[in-house]
Amino acid sequence: MRNLLIILGVVCSVCLLNANTQIDSLEVYLTTANQIEKVVVLNELSQAYQEVSARRSITYAQSALQLSQESGNKEEIAKYNIQVNVVAPNALTGMTKGVFSDKVAKRIKPEFNTPIVTFLCSEENRESGMIFTMSAGWYARSAMVSGKGVCIGDANRVITAEEVMDNFDQIKSIENALPYEDCSQIYTLGKSLTGR
């Protein structure tokens, strides 16, 4: 048993060292990259940090989106078929355990975030430069305001990327958008599914 724990510890250390080496390499490359390469590297850093630091992962994703919008290179980036979007998921994970009441926690399953990420990564998606918020099957485009969004499902069944695609015009719409003082208020739009 002791040998198994030692082997497990060594494997975990090697994996963490490998992740840190990749992160270090990307951070060094970021200092010399051109504008288009920086967007790609920032996205890769966001992915690399997902298991290390959720906060840094989100920060790099937001930086990639901001750079692609500010650089005026939207057309240049589009030539390479690169879409840059940010997702702001809300789900019960190890990181959010204890944050939500049990009633809410059982409704905000991580798998409800997968369909929109799948759609945004698909070849059918042509949108870029947007932020999408989601919780328990409620999806919306967010900015300084949030669209009404659309509730899909019942917070129990699996939601497909096709359902997101079928409702995408309503999800990305910010027509009749309302301002919110803080992001937690945005989730009241999905109250019928989240229960809050």
CB 83 within 8 A of CB 120: yes
Q: Which of 137, 183, 184, 196 is nearest to 161 (CA)?
A: 137
Per-residue pLDDT of the chain (196 residues), as tens digits, is 554 445 544 444 444 444 567 888 888 888 888 877 888 888 888 888 877 777 787 888 878 877 776 665 566 666 767 777 888 888 888 888 888 888 988 899 989 999 999 999 898 998 887 889 888 999 998 876 778 889 998 888 999 999 999 999 999 998 888 766 555 666 777 777 777 6
Domain boundaries along the sequence of the chain: 1-81, 83-196
pTM summary value: 0.49
pLDDT for the residue numbered 76? 62
Query: Quick one: which H or E segment has residue 138?
Result: strand 138-142
Q: Does an H or E element contain 57, and which? A: helix 54-70
Neighbouring residues of 126: CB distance < 8 A, sequence distance ≥ 6? 83
